[in-house]
Amino acid sequence: MSAGRFFVAAKAWVRKSSLTLLLRDKNGDWDLPGGRVDDAEFGMRSLFAVLARELEEEIKLKVDDGKMWGTSQWTRPARPKEDPGEKRIFVVHYQVSAPEDFEPQLSDEHGEFAWVENPFVGLPSGLLPEVSPGGAAAREVKPIEIPIPGFRNLEIHSIVSDFTGTLAFRGALRNPARLALLRLAHMADVHVVTSDTFGTAKRELAGIPITFKKLTDESEDHDVQKERYVESLGTGHVAAFGNGRNDRRMLEAVRSGRGLAVAVDNGEGCAREAFDSSEVFVAAAENALDLLLDKDRCKATLRV
């Protein structure tokens, strides 16, 4: 591959009721149906026409329409069995509906398929769409349900997090935390509410479909503003993450409301008041967010 070259691909989120179709390729990796624009097609066919051709070839699904659903940038690792070099691919995502009785007939490109409830956990991060045209989040939100014996059954609708010191280190969002946040942003409503001490939050969070609020009103303490924010969402269905003194009231409100309150040390320390107001203390932002991605970790920590 020459320096600076990348490919364009069209991928489909094929939906049947609440399920999404994933395909496993010859290298054992999960993928979405669809593929790259061929040289002969470039400039001659629409992206959706390319996708329609791929769907008929790969799974024998004929489609006439679909909704453009977002974009992503994917650095696909080398595939020794079929494609030796690393590929940089700009992916355009479409949402496509399949008939209730549809079952894919696979080509020789794939050896297995699965209909899954939550595809956002199993797919490579490069296949998670960021922001769709017009700025709308390309996602479908469902509660994150975690039954915990002897504790309570969590049903998380919203995730609220501080930024500085909780998600970020010295104002920068490290890649493991960014990927975890991107996955969660496709599973629940994610809100980042921050004083933004370093002034970097909006830039660092760009491309992740979240609600961002920078606290600029100095007439009221920021801890009170964060508390009111989670109360407006319904604290019983919130997972809150924080590390600072001005997170303590937010965390206590969520804990008292029977949501999930998590204190985090992402390298800049955790205030004692934030620690005392939480149910779980976790080191590193990506480990804290993973409590919601890997539900057994949360269950193992809080169960009786």
Statement: residue 249 has pLDDT above 50 = yes
Q: Are residues 123 and 153 both part of a single domain?
A: no
Q: Are residues 163 and 283 both part of a single domain?
A: yes
Q: Are residues 106 and 210 both part of a single domain?
A: no
Confidence band for 81, pLDDT divided at 50, 70 and 90: low
The pLDDT assigned to 135 comes to 40
Q: Are residues 119 and 158 both part of a single domain?
A: no
> How many alpha carbons lie under 13 Å from residue 224 in its C-beta half-sphere?
6
**Residues with Cβ within 8 Å of residue 247, at least 6 apart in sequence:** 162, 166, 223, 226, 240, 263, 271, 274, 277
Number of domains into which the chain is organized:
2
pLDDT cut 70: percent of the chain above it: 92
The pLDDT assigned to 136 comes to 42
Q: Which residue has the higher pLDDT, 93 or 140?
A: 93
Chosen domain end from 101, 135, 169: 135
Q: Could you report the per-residue pLDDT of 27-64, keeping only the tens digit for each? A: 888 999 999 888 777 777 788 889 999 999 999 999 98
Per the CB < 8 A criterion, the answer to whether 57 and 38 are in contact is no
In a domain, 1, yes or no: no
Q: Enter the tokens of residue 125.
A: 């991060």
Q: Are residues 18 and 99 both part of a single domain?
A: yes
Q: Could you report the per-residue pLDDT of 223-245, keeping only the tens digit for each? A: 999 999 999 999 999 999 999 99
Statement: residue 79 has pLDDT above 80 = no
In a domain, 2, yes or no: no
How far does CA 113 lie from the centroid of its chain? 22
| Distances from the Cα of 249 to the Cα of 18, 76, 164, angstroms | 37, 43, 17
CATH number at residue 45: 3.90.79.10
| Distances from the Cα of 240 to the Cα of 104, 236, 278, angstroms | 40, 11, 9
Confidence band for 146, pLDDT divided at 50, 70 and 90: very high
* Residue keyed to tokens 């999404």: 20
Q: Could you report the per-residue pLDDT of 194-230, keeping only the tens digit for each? A: 999 999 998 898 778 889 999 988 888 999 999 999 9
Per the CB < 8 A criterion, the answer to whether 262 and 291 are in contact is yes
The pLDDT assigned to 52 comes to 93
Chosen domain end from 135, 154, 172: 135
CATH number at residue 156: 3.40.50.1000
CA distance 25 to 152: 39
> Which range of residues forms the domain containing residue 92?
7-135
Chosen domain end from 79, 109, 135: 135
Count Cβ atoms within 10 A of the Cβ of residue 2 and give its class: 0-12 exposed, 13-18 middle, 19 or more buried: exposed
In a domain, 190, yes or no: yes
What is the mean pLDDT of the segment spanning 245-249? 97
Confidence band for 283, pLDDT divided at 50, 70 and 90: very high
Statement: residue 121 has pLDDT above 90 = no
Is 0.85 topped by the overall pTM? Answer: no
Read off the DSSP letter of residue 246.
Answer: G
